[in-house]
Amino acid sequence: MKAKTSYKEALNNKIFTITSQAAATLNVKSYVIGGYVRDFLLNRGLKKDIDIVAVGSGIALAEKVSSLLPGKPKVQVFKNYGTAMLRHNDTDIEFVGARKESYQWESRKPHVETGTLEDDQNRRDFTINALALSLDEADFGELVDPFNGMDDLKKGIIRTPLDPDITYSDDPLRMMRAIRFATQLNFTIEEESLKAIGRNKDRISIISGERIVDELNKILMAPKPSTGFKLLHQTGLLQIILPELTALKGVEEVEGQTHKDNFYHTLEVVDNIAPNTDDVWLRWSALLHDIGKAPTKKFHKKIGWTFHGHEFVGGKMVKKLFERLHMPLNHKMKYVSKMVMLSSRPIVLAQDIVTDSAVRRLIFDAGEDVEDLMTLCEADITTKNPQKFKKYHNNFKIVRQKIVEVEERDHVRNFQPPISGEEIMEIFNLKPSREIGVLKEAIKEAILEGEIPNEYNAAHDFMMEKALKMGLKTN
């Protein structure tokens, strides 16, 4: 017999004592299970999502709990799933009845046979997520751990309670969850489990893009996302969900000339950017910044390997990728696409003497996102040559400084033409026509080039001169 361990200190939230009372009234046993217990034991703090299993009806327990809570919060019942949710203070509590059968995690059948706690634990994804604490008055806080999940927690192992082929076929998303937990917690996926992912990888195709992206986002938001992407690659999942990335893998050699492995380079960039931003979309930009390199790669006898126009091609690919994975096609997609399109600009700029006009053009094109673009490009410096590394970083410091100076002086970040199309029409008595566009463009170019300041009077004088040359007459 193993010694029993109690973790009452995890259960200070009043919701647990109330659940305990409610369960006693209904004469059912109840347990808190899953992520809440796992994160508590890992000292990751107390989660705001709590999962409770009732050995009986989860819905009845939820309703009883609500009746005992001040204000009797509304119970949301998901009949098809056999679950019920309620919100108390800032915590979401989900109640589910313990089940016996195998079922699809996301399409739980309403009339599955009620099982014991152990049956339910068996059907969960990983031993570290099957740990339960009793809410029974008699043994409140006692750990129920039939698969040595505690041991796996201590050793840092992701292991399925059942044969992994069964666990992953119950819900193929769990293959990604295994990799996501390994990345977030810096754990190792147990060998049989890892092999099973490789065997079952094609089953990921039945999972919705939204659920896949949820996991990808969590991997991206981990401190070292490359861990997850390497595992996704190693198991073959990446090839299915993000073939644009696996297409970057490998080094080709022609006539003794090679190029860098853009897949591993990309993963380095993602790891580099992680400490500098918590914006998931900027991290996506890092992940996708080079995807245009696979379709544009060419070898030229004289100059070697080129990836001409890869930024533009990559930017276009972003939209297709977002569509395929059912990601939002809103301003977030446009942001990532723009980041990819502009991803080489600062480095090209920094290789030369940093001129004001080049900086002005960069601010003009990147607008509000110019600092994010700099953060991306700094992460893109993966050279192993210490001199070059230092030089690029120093150049970027100069660029950042210049961005502030130039913007203060010239205000091109949210460029508004100093003279409107309407005014041009009025001054020269023009109907909507090509000439207006030509004049507006010439003014903009003169400002970006630094020929004139971004001011009304200067723009007006410049326009009059230009119009004269074009043969335009004032009113």
Query: What are the residues binding ligand CTP (CB under 6 A)?
Result: 34-35, 49, 51, 105, 124-125, 129-130, 171, 173-174, 177
Q: Which is nearer to ligand CTP, 169 or 355 (CB)?
A: 169
Question: φ, ψ for residue 137 (rounded to 5)?
Answer: -60, -35
The answer for residues whose C-beta is within 8 angstroms of residue 17's C-beta and 6 or more apart is 11
The answer to whether 339 and 367 have CB atoms below 8 angstroms apart is no
Q: What minimum distance in Å lies between the beta carbon of 242 and ligand CTP?
A: 20
Q: Which is nearer to ligand CTP, 156 or 367 (CB)?
A: 156
Q: Which is nearer to ligand CTP, 37 or 399 (CB)?
A: 37
The answer for residues whose C-beta is within 8 angstroms of residue 50's C-beta and 6 or more apart is 13, 15, 32, 36, 91, 92, 93, 94
What contacts 24+ positions apart, CB below 8 Å, involve 17-21? 18/65, 18/68, 18/69, 19/52, 19/61, 19/65, 19/93, 19/135, 20/135, 20/136, 20/137, 20/140, 21/68
What is the sign of the dihedral through the CA atoms of 50, 51, 54 and 55? Answer: negative
**Other Cβ atoms closer than 10 A to 345:** 18
> What's the number of CA atoms in the CB half-sphere (13 Å) around residue 217?
14
Q: Which is nearer to ligand CTP, 135 or 459 (CB)?
A: 135
Q: Which is nearer to ligand CTP, 168 or 263 (CB)?
A: 168
Q: Which is nearer to ligand CTP, 94 or 142 (CB)?
A: 94
Helix (H, G, I), strand (E, B) or coil at 349: helix
Task: Report d(CA 173, CA 150) in Å as an integer.
Answer: 24
The answer to whether 452 and 458 have CB atoms below 8 angstroms apart is yes
Question: φ, ψ for residue 328 (rounded to 5)?
Answer: -60, 135
Q: What minimum distance in Å lies between the beta carbon of 249 and ligand CTP?
A: 29
Each residue of 200-227: b (16+ CB within 10 Å) or e?
Answer: bbebbeebeeebbbebbebbbbbeebbb
Q: What minimum distance in Å lies between the beta carbon of 71 and ligand CTP?
A: 25
Q: What minimum distance in Å lies between the beta carbon of 203 and ligand CTP?
A: 13
Helix (H, G, I), strand (E, B) or coil at 432: coil
Q: Which is nearer to ligand CTP, 105 or 140 (CB)?
A: 105
Task: Tell me, letter by letter, the H, E, C secondary structure of 99-143.
Answer: ECCCCCHHHCCCCCCECCHHHHHHCCCCHHHCCEEECCCCCCCEE
Q: What minimum distance in Å lies between the beta carbon of 124 and ligand CTP?
A: 4
The answer to whether 326 and 208 have CB atoms below 8 angstroms apart is yes
Q: Which is nearer to ligand CTP, 47 or 316 (CB)?
A: 47
The residue at minimum Cβ distance from ligand CTP is 35
Q: What minimum distance in Å lies between the beta carbon of 119 and ligand CTP?
A: 13
The answer for residues whose C-beta is within 8 angstroms of residue 157's C-beta and 6 or more apart is 127, 128, 187, 188, 189, 190
Q: Which is nearer to ligand CTP, 47 or 361 (CB)?
A: 47
Q: What minimum distance in Å lies between the beta carbon of 236 and ligand CTP?
A: 20
Q: What minimum distance in Å lies between the beta carbon of 215 and ligand CTP?
A: 9
Q: What minimum distance in Å lies between the beta carbon of 291 and ligand CTP?
A: 28
Q: Kindly give the pairing relationship between strand 188-189 and strand 157-158.
A: parallel
Question: φ, ψ for residue 184 (rounded to 5)?
Answer: -65, -40
Q: Which is nearer to ligand CTP, 131 or 245 (CB)?
A: 131
Task: Report d(CA 84, CA 86) in Å as an integer.
Answer: 7
Q: What minimum distance in Å lies between the beta carbon of 94 and ligand CTP?
A: 8
Q: What minimum distance in Å lies between the beta carbon of 170 and ligand CTP?
A: 8
